[in-house]
Amino acid sequence: MRNGAKVDFTGVETVIGRDPNSVGKVLVSDPGSIWSNVGPVIIGIFGRADVTMDGGGVITVPNVIVVGQNLVTNSLNINGGTSPQSRGVLQTGFVESTDKNGRIKFNGGVLRAAADEPKFVRPDNNSSFIIDVLTRGAFIDTNGFTVGINRPFSGAGGLTKLGQGTLTLIAENAYLGPTAVEQGTLQLGAPPFGIGDNRLLKTTVLTVGNDDDVGSAMFNLNSFNQEVGALSSRGSTMSRRIINSGADLKALTVAQSNDTVYRGQLTGNLSLVKKGGGSLTITGDNTHAGPTIIEDGALVLNGVIAGSIIVKIGGVLRGTGHAGLISVQNGGTVSPGHDLGTLHVDGTYTQFAGGKLFVELGSINSFDKLQVMGDIMLDGILELSLQDGFVPSSGMSFDVLDWSGIRSGTFSTVMLPPLPNGLFWNTSKLYVSGHISVD
């Protein structure tokens, strides 16, 4: 079926590849081409069969049963191009496979829900059928419904969640590509009595939101820990959230080597762990219950993290946002500003021995500053650096540190850049008002 053809079947069921040695193939392609079926579609019984939608073609059917018997592989192929208009679409109540040789293959097409169904894609008779995700990826449109998939996705492509509604991934998935939540909710799950974190591969790149700013998008840990290879967002005004709806605290670990920006929110019973040498920029208003732990690379806070931030060895905290509490451990660094600017701490700031506060001076009117509304406890290193050839002159004073509560302790080491002959740094007011001046 091509070029806008339309076919309606009103029979009890449609079988493709019913008889032994038979070969049945169906292709629905091109925008406007629609195959509608009142009854279910059965792909293969004793023969071989393939059903493919591609290029904007649509199949609408109550349910699809993929049969693979007698070493015959039967396939449901949900294909598409690189644009939304070129994606083939299967809209159905559920897809079921009765044998391990039944395959569902995604290569750029959309599987769209037609009803609430906790087992939207499922095996029958304990079959171990395969869901292949080829390079153009799998698109699941929940279409306002709540559905679950209890077979793993595997292959080179990625998974994209479309439409409002909720998709639960019940199996432990092995697809190699990215994970995108464009609309609705994508949540992790497990089979009955199942346990195990990382329901997605730890290398998957997680993106939340869509460029059109349509609807809302949410990723729910749902009582599982999950590590991802990178975190980012799309859109500018839509609601984008990562949550853990479970009662126990769980961790989202972001282990990335590249630089990304997440403009959404982190909420619920989760902690954020930053690993990898790349930089993760956070811009939203984040209220997650657990700590934010920087183990490696940089976290740039240009929004709000209402809870605590722990900077461990090898970790760097930058930015101009607000943190509830900051604890800088041995080998950790706090560097206010992303270029130059003020980092705000709404509670207490604690810097342990071996921790570092790194401050850059760009001019008399442009320099880094740490602003603490609560108590401040100091140890470790304060290092000043001059940016872009700036040379301070006599009489200049820099307010690099402010606090409203009680100060305790001092820096064990203060590292200051060299000045021209005849000038020297004056730190006599550092622990009184946070000023460092040039005399």
Q: What is the pLDDT of residues 219-265, one digit of tens each?
A: 999 999 999 999 999 999 999 999 999 999 999 999 999 999 999 99
Bin 213: left if φ > 0, else alpha if -120 < ψ < 50, else beta.
Answer: left
Task: Please tell me whether the overall predicted TM-score, pTM, comes out greater than 0.75 for this model.
Answer: yes
Higher pLDDT among residues 64 and 350, named by residue: 350
Is a pLDDT exceeding 80 seen at residue 7?
no
Is a pLDDT exceeding 90 seen at residue 160?
yes
Residue 126 pLDDT level (bands cut at 50, 70, 90):
low
- Nearest-5° angle of CA 435, CA 345, CA 327? 100
- In single-letter form, the type of residue at position 153 comes to F
Choose the weakest-confidence range: 62-71, 114-123, 291-300, 303-312: 62-71
Pairing of strands 397-399, 435-438: antiparallel
Contact 131, 160 (CB under 8 A): no
Q: What is the mean pLDDT of residues 315-344?
A: 97
Contact 187, 148 (CB under 8 A): no
Q: What is the mean pLDDT of residues 124-129?
A: 67
pLDDT at 53: 85
Choose the weakest-confidence range: 134-143, 188-197, 316-325: 188-197
Give CA torsion, residues 114, 118, 119, 125, to 10 deg.
Answer: -140
Is a pLDDT exceeding 60 seen at residue 194?
no
What is the percent of the chain where pLDDT is above 90?
A: 74
Higher pLDDT among residues 295 and 129, named by residue: 295
Residue 30 pLDDT level (bands cut at 50, 70, 90):
confident
Contact 233, 207 (CB under 8 A): yes
Please state, rounded to an integer, the average pLDDT across all residues of the chain: 92
Single out the residue of 52, 80, 55, 217 nearest to residue 138, CA to CA: 80
Is a pLDDT exceeding 90 seen at residue 67?
no
Q: What is the mean pLDDT of residues 147-154?
A: 93
Is a pLDDT exceeding 60 seen at residue 70?
no
pLDDT at 193: 52
Tokens describing residue 236: 């500018």
Measured between alpha carbons, how far is residue 140 from residues 145, 176, 180, 310 in Å?
11, 17, 10, 37
Contact 6, 34 (CB under 8 A): yes
How many whole angstroms separate alpha carbon 196 and alpha carbon 58? 37
pLDDT at 42: 80
Higher pLDDT among residues 52 and 286, named by residue: 286
Is a pLDDT exceeding 80 seen at residue 148?
yes
Cα 307–chain centre separation:
20
Give the number of residues written for the chain. Answer: 439
pLDDT tens-digit readout, 343-380: 999 999 999 999 999 999 999 999 999 999 999 999 99
pLDDT at 425: 97
Residue 21 pLDDT level (bands cut at 50, 70, 90):
low
Choose the weakest-confidence range: 55-69, 227-241, 395-409: 55-69
Q: What is the mean pLDDT of residues 329-338?
A: 96
Choose the weakest-confidence range: 1-5, 77-81, 173-177: 1-5
